[in-house]
Amino acid sequence: MSCWKYWAKIKEIANDLEEYGVDSLKDINSLDDVDLNEITKKLDEIEIIAHDDEIDFDSAKHILDDDRMNKALKLIRKFYLYIGARLETDIANRIINSDDADAVLKDFHFYERYEGLLTNESKLANFKDKTFVFIGSGPLPLTLIMFYKKFACKCIGIEIQEDIAKLSRKVIDKLGLSDNIEIIVGDETSLKDIDFDIVMVAAFAEPKERVFANVWSLVDDINPVLVRTYSGMRAILYAPLTDKVLRGFHKEVMLLPIGNTNNTSVLLRKIL
């Protein structure tokens, strides 16, 4: 099916974001005063396009690579980053202040998507009794929580922002998982101080070239390196990883998203 049917809608969404005060070159905090439910509806509009599996990869590239869509894509991708962080922060604070933390966790907007991710990523490596490190764990370390519950592996998150790390530790403590999940403040170079088996790089870990160059220097060719990226029309949400960024790694397996999951899951191996 042609992707051109969405051309006008993408432009319309970008215009709506501009009316909220979102600018591709400026801070996005203008959205902080907008009701979370209202802007989540805008995310839903974007995901209808992203999840249209009738649009094949070649057709999607007609929009994603068109210079005339550059500004709209920048706005949408910036918004996607913002809404993801805000939804995580909101649910993290609700968990901390809740009498039923597990129920609140399952109320997270993307919870079912993470179950799809876990299904895919559990096929990429053997996590049981391994030490699993997640670079860019964020305010709601749901990846670590779900991997621990599923595989009972030792889970370590690396988070560069101290305040975000502090918030995520409170979430983990509230869920009763502090003995099983650790959050370290730092960047990907913190791997040098960890005895790990498996590394995963968050989709939003930045800057990409630096992150993957450092990961390459700190892993062995036997260590599975898992990454989350965006492919097909889902790349409207966030720019996909490029071969330039992943130089020095071999893409061993790539699993496309399940259902409404947004991420493509990839197993990398270091090339010596």
Round the average pLDDT of the chain to a whole number and report it. 94
Mean pLDDT, residues 255-259: 92
CATH 3.40.50.150 occupies which residues in the chain? 3-104, 111-270
CATH of 111-270, picked from 3.40.50.620, 3.40.50.150, 3.40.640.10, 3.30.1180.20, is 3.40.50.150
Is residue 17 scored above 70 in pLDDT? Answer: yes
CA distances from 17 to 36, 82, 251 (A): 14, 12, 36
Q: Are 31 and 22 in contact (CB under 8 A)?
A: yes
Helices in 131-196 by DSSP H: which ranges? 142-151, 162-174
Q: Are 77 and 30 in contact (CB under 8 A)?
A: no
Q: Given this model, what pLDDT does residue 30 score?
A: 77
Q: Given this model, what pLDDT does residue 234 score?
A: 96
pLDDT band at residue 31 under the 50/70/90 scheme: confident
pLDDT band at residue 56 under the 50/70/90 scheme: confident
pLDDT tens per residue, range 105-160: 999 999 999 999 999 999 999 999 999 999 999 999 999 999 999 999 999 999 99
Mean pLDDT, residues 239-258: 96
What's the pTM? Answer: 0.94
Between 52-56, 71-75, 184-188, 251-255, the lowest mean confidence (pLDDT) is in 52-56
Is the CATH number 3.40.50.150 carried by domain 3-104?
yes
Higher-confidence position of 1 and 75: 75
Q: Are 194 and 168 in contact (CB under 8 A)?
A: no
* Residues 6 or more apart in contact with residue 29 via CB below 8 angstroms: none
Q: Given this model, what pLDDT does residue 3 score?
A: 65
Q: Given this model, what pLDDT does residue 21 score?
A: 78
pLDDT tens per residue, range 167-202: 999 999 999 999 999 999 999 999 999 999 999 999
271 burial (CB, 10 Å; 0-12 / 13-18 / 19+) is: exposed
Mean pLDDT, residues 3-21: 87
Residues in the chain: 272
